A and B are shown apart, each in its own frame.
Chain A
Amino acid sequence: MSAVLLYALTGAGLFTLGLYALIIHAHLLRKILAINVMGSGVFLILVALGGRTAGAVPDVVPHAMVITGIVVAVSATALALALVLRVQAATGRAELPEEPLE
């Protein structure tokens, strides 16, 4: 198994793990962490696939994509954390209600 494939499979594993955690955990902070784990998985896949030509200079375009992706992930996480605080202040719990409130 080549190193590239190993990294890519690890990335796919992280993505699945994050998706699982996102679905089963109710606490919003855990959900946000789960999405960040999923994001790391995608970034790992992108970086790993950038090194597909063995020995040659790695492809830089996926690296640029990952940097952009990280910027997006950081800002989305910041917004999510701010919202969690507001949700907790408004409802007293950092969880989403099962049924939408009336």
Chain B
Amino acid sequence: MQQIPWEVMLILLPLAGAMACFLWPRRTLLFGLISALGVGGCVAGLGWRLLEQGAQRYAVGGWGAPLGIDLYADGLSLLMLIITALVGLGVSIYSIGYFERRQAILFWPLWLLLWSALNALFLSADIFNLYVTLELLGLAAVALVALAGGANALTAAMRYLLVNMLASLCYLLGVALLYHNFGSVDIAILAQRVEASPAVWAAMGLMSAGLLLKSALFPLHFWLPPAHASAPAPVSALLSALVVKASFYILLRLWLEIFPQTGAAPGQLLGVLGAAAVLWGGIQALRQTRLKLLIAYSTVAQLGYLFLAFPLGSSFAWKGSLYLLLSHALAKAAMFMAAGNILRFCGHDRIADLDRVAQRLPVTMIAFSVAGVSIVGLPPSGGFIGKWMLLEAALRAGQWWWVIPLILGGLLAAAYIFKVIGYAFTQAGVLRQTNKVPMSMEWAALALALAALLLGLVALWPLSLMEIGLPFGGSEVDAIQRAEQS
């Protein structure tokens, strides 16, 4: 019996949904929800097959590697697809209540296009295809930021677009160099052929610079806070939870497969920048007076943690970093949704004037606090597991100094989360009129926040998925030995 091509459906279904939403704006919601549920089903189907048969390679149109386009799915791609589907379903439900009709018509096609680009990115097996998906992702994300209208959102979107175009060109130049030297763009083929040479160094520098700019690693984060803070709440959730992670995912793949022989120095540099991001982002978040900007700077800080795995380079560290990525995606999406509810309820997001939101909007505040538990990294959340794994990997590799940003970052996160929660309980000076927040928006935020917490309780399950196809290299012992040698 022929197998169902889940990989292809994961890309085509949201794409078709986007087209349908665009062509029949009256039926937007129907098509949107069908696509969202369908994608969820396809991810489940693909996951089931991966569990039974291991990593999968699919040749589009039957052409095969050097000439055609391959799709590749292993544990790493599967987890990214799963987290995209979870956050995507949450955002889809949230957006039903959030957008009025006129904006919903614009939101759904763009969001489904974004989803399609994300799925294609996580399934791509060659570096040129990754470039195309990165561009698709960038264009859809910029249009979504601009959806909010107004001078702030438009200038933020413009800056975001320029940064995206610059970053993509740097990446493409790196692709050109790699192709010229090794005659292939397929990641698996490149992994066998690449050897250290000046051209590879240049390609690595260019591709990494482009991807770091897109992943907003300190000090290249300048575009992120305005873009993420001025977008509509569901869009902020998507950008912080998924879009910045997509470029991180590419960097991770390149680092794991193509550039492992480049030595320890670049990894150490990324680690230092990551540590600086954790501290700088935390301090900036603490200084903010607006809730959405606070959450956006918190994203800058949390992205920094992910880069702490690069200097360690053991498979345990990579898994910890991925674990943090997954739990941050859920928690940050929940947090931006909660902020959107508060913004809708109060009509503003000034932290000092939150005025007893905790009593009047309890579900939202519970969602915010539960998400905060994971962001701070307290047990039993997913954030705790990820940080604990990174901490252990740092100690095992004998690089104890990476523990400092892990702990200080947690303290800073606790400070800015409690600052918000504190103001949510106190009464403001001036009472203002409030607006009603639909139930679906409150519960969608809570569901994602609880999922982030749950990730800490069922740790074995995602960790076993990470083993499919061994994306993080061989067994644990090998990885430790490699880390000791470098």
**Interface residues of A, Cβ cutoff 8 Å to B:** 15, 19, 22, 28, 31-32, 35, 38-39, 42, 45-46, 49, 52, 61-62, 65, 68-69, 72, 75-76, 79-80, 83-84, 86-87, 90-91, 96-97, 100-101
Contacts and interface: CB of A to CB of B under 8 A. Distances in A.
Given A42-B173, A45-B176, A96-B155, A83 B146 contact: yes
Tell me the dominant secondary structure on chain A's binding face.
Answer: helix
Contact of B151 (A28, A69, A90): A90
A52 B180 contact: yes
Contacts of A39: 165, 169
Given A38-B166, A100-B226, A86 B180 contact: no
Interface stretch (B135-143, B254-262, B366-374, B452-460): B135-143
B172 A42 contact: yes
Contacts of A52: 180
Contacts of B172: 42, 69
B169 A38 contact: yes
Interface residues of B, number: 34
Given A87-B155, A90-B150, A100-B226, A80 B165 contact: yes
Contacts of B173: 15, 42, 45
B179 A61 contact: yes
Interface of B: 128, 132, 135, 138-139, 142-143, 146, 149-152, 154-159, 161-162, 164-166, 168-169, 172-173, 175-176, 179-180, 185, 225-226
Contacts, number: 89
Contact of B169 (A35, A75, A86, A101): A35
B154 A76 contact: no
Closest A-B pairs by Cβ, 6 of them: A49-B180, A100-B226, A90-B151, A72-B135, A46-B176, A87-B154
Nearest to B160: A83
Nearest to A23: B166
A83 B154 contact: yes
A98 B132 CA distance: 31
Nearest to A19: B166
A35 B169 CA distance: 9
B285 to A, nearest CB: 15
A42 B169 contact: yes
Given A35-B169, A87-B154, A100-B226, A76 B146 contact: no
Contact of B154 (A31, A35, A49, A86): A86
10 contacts: A61-B179, A68-B132, A76-B135, A79-B139, A83-B146, A84-B158, A90-B149, A90-B154, A100-B225, A101-B151
Nearest to B143: A79
B132 A72 contact: yes
A80 B175 CA distance: 24
Contacts of A91: 151, 154-155
B125 to A, nearest CB: 15
A45 B202 CA distance: 14
Nearest to A12: B173
A74 to B, nearest CB: 11
Contact of B156 (A22, A35, A100): A100
**Interface-central residue, A75, A76, A90, by most chain B CB under 10 Å:** A76
A24 to B, nearest CB: 14
